[in-house]
Amino acid sequence: MRWPLLWPLLGATLALGAVRREEAAAPLSVSACKVLQEMDLVKTSKSDCYCYHPKSQLEWKYIWSTVQVHIASQGLLSITYITERHHCQYPESIPSFIRCLARNFWPPRESNEITIVVNPYEATMCFSLRPGEKIVPYTLSVNRNIVDFRLFLMFVAGVSLFYYAETLSRSPLFYYSSGTVLGILMTLVFVLLLVKKSIPKYSTFWALMVGCWSASVYIMCRLIEELKWLTSESRTYILGYFLTVGLVSFAVCYKHGPLVEATSRNLLAWTLRLLSLLLVCSGITMAPLAYAVGILMLSSRVLRFPRKAFRRMKTWLPPAKPQFKYLTEDEYREQADAETTGALEELRQACRRPDFPSWLAVARLQSPKKFADFVLGGSHLSPEEVSLHEQQYGLGGVFLEEQLFNPQST
């Protein structure tokens, strides 16, 4: 059998097995279960089933809120999720389908303390509790976490990763660190990327990639649920695995070196953007709002290309005609004074340079002393010239009288 046909068949087999396990493990009717609400506190010792129904009205202050069902007992308890048709048979989303498979194929271990995190706007969640061999009382409490920092951090990380994806794809530090993390958390995907050149067909590679991603996500979901037990019972083995696989992954990434091709960098950048959209949608409890935020982020990125094309088209268009603004008489005088002062200062600085031919300039001037005073910071006009200018153009001067009493001269 060809590899591309094997993984869909395996997925269908797993889904069918999950549905059959679901039907076999849910003898209780959902309608007979007790309805849980916020701030409920139940103390009992008998086996029973409970359901939490989602809220129909969306409230903006509960964007990152979750409902936590905490169960505590002195003895061991076993929990069974009573899933309805909206989960395994008709999954609403890929994460819910993966969680359903994980719960059916790898049921949770018996424990004396269980915490269930529920999305208040998702599908109805039902479960049954059964005490172990020894019947002991247990306590069930329902509390709302208004701001679940885990969801908030996922949302912030997703937004940051989306807008810094291009910068991170060019960073060697991010390449080595992400390669090491990928090797530790998703070893199957990391190994598949290493042997990519030995796979002849792209269809086979992508079919294997889908299978490896699904298996890796499935394993991670189960390990997260069993994290408390693993850290207490197998801490040495987990630390050894992290060190060994992390060093091997870093050595492989260091051997291949960071990405240098533009195609590889763009592929990594868009992979990070898709991952960031998944984080953003997973970090918001309201599905419509999560999809709206994801579409807005993707649109802000896609709309950059039309803007760049429009800017290039503007360079091809003929320039617009310049618009002239006429100055008033006061503006003209202020501009003339400012420009004259600046030009005289530039001339003074040029004459002070060592390479300035001072002797040649002095030889051609009629009044060298006046020029020397100007270079040393004095005025470029003598008192006689200032007095003569006032007589000609000042108040009561000859030029003003001609303008007032002889208009035909203009």
Owning domain of residue 278: 153-311
Model confidence pLDDT, tens digit, residues 71-95: 888 888 888 877 544 445 555 555 5
The residues, ordered by sequence, that sit 6+ positions from 272 with a Cβ below 8 Å of its Cβ are: 161, 162, 165, 168, 169
Mean pLDDT within 373-398: 73
Asked if the structure places residue 390 within a domain, the reply is yes
DSSP string, 22-74: HHHS--S-GGGSEEP-TT-EEEE-S-EEEEEPPPSS--GGGTT-EEEEEEEEE
| Dihedral-angle region of residue 63 (phi above 0 means left; psi in -120 to 50 means alpha; beta otherwise) | alpha
Mean of per-residue pLDDT scores for the chain: 76
Q: From residue 100, how far is each of 6, 9, 82, 119, 290 by CA, in Å? A: 22, 18, 10, 15, 22
Does a structural domain hold residue 341? no
328 pLDDT band (50/70/90 cuts)?
confident
Residue 341 pLDDT > 80 = yes
Within a domain: residue 109?
A: yes
Q: Quick one: 376 and 402 in the same domain?
A: yes
pTM: 0.57
Q: Are residues 167 and 276 in the same domain?
A: yes
Domain end (from 83, 115, 147): 147
Same domain, residue pair 259 and 280: yes
Q: What is the pLDDT of residue 201?
A: 74
39 Rama class: left (phi>0) / alpha (psi -120 to 50) / beta: left
- Total domains in the fold of the chain: 3
Same domain, 267 and 376: no
Q: Is 9 contained in some domain?
A: no
- Sign of the Cα torsion 227, 231, 237, 238 reads positive
Question: Could you give the CA distance from residue 50 to residue 126 in angstroms, rounded to a whole number?
Answer: 6
Q: Among the three residues 130, 147, 164, which one is the final residue of a domain in this structure?
A: 147
Tokens of residue 181, six digits: 């993390």
Does 197 lie in the same domain as 305?
A: yes
pLDDT of amino acid 333: 82
What local confidence, expressed as pLDDT, does residue 399 receive? 58
The percentage of residues in the chain with a pLDDT greater than 90, rounded to a whole number, is 1
Average pLDDT of 372-395? 75
Phi, psi torsion values for 330, nearest 5 degrees:
-65, -40
pLDDT for res 153:
92
Report yes or no on 402 lying in a domain: yes
Q: How many CB atoms lie within 10 A of CB 82?
A: 21
The residue out of 286, 311, 336 marking a domain boundary is 311
Q: Which residues, in sequence order, are bridge partners of residue 48?
A: 129
Residue 86: the pLDDT is 42
| Same domain membership, residue 201 and residue 262 | yes
Domain holding 123: CATH number?
2.60.120
Given a cut of 70, whether residue 340 has pLDDT beyond it is: yes
- Neighbouring-strand partners of residue 329: none
Residue 335 lies inside a defined structural domain of this protein: no
Same domain, 301 and 379: no
**Same domain flag for 198 and 111:** no
Q: Please compute the mean of the pLDDT values over residues 26-46 and round it to a whole number.
A: 76
Residues 56 and 191 in one domain: no
Buried b (16+ CB within 10 A) or exposed e, 106-138: eebeebeebebebbbbbbbbbbbbebeeeeeeb
Tally: H helices and E strands in the chain: 17, 7
The DSSP bridge pattern shows strands 125-131 and 48-52 to be antiparallel
The answer to the question of residue 355 being in a domain is: yes
- Identify whether residues 143 and 157 lie together within a single domain: no
Tell me: do 356 and 307 sit in the same domain: no
pLDDT by residue (tens digit) across 210-229?
Answer: 888 777 877 777 777 667 66
Q: What is the rounded distance in angstroms from the CA atom of residue 216 to the CA atom of residue 290? A: 25
Sorting pLDDT into bands at 50, 70 and 90, what band is 27?
Answer: very low
> How much of the chain, in percent, has pLDDT values that exceed 70?
75
Residues 244 and 266 in one domain: yes
Domain for residue 8, yes or no?
no
Range from 13-27, 244-258, 273-287 carrying the lowest mean pLDDT: 13-27
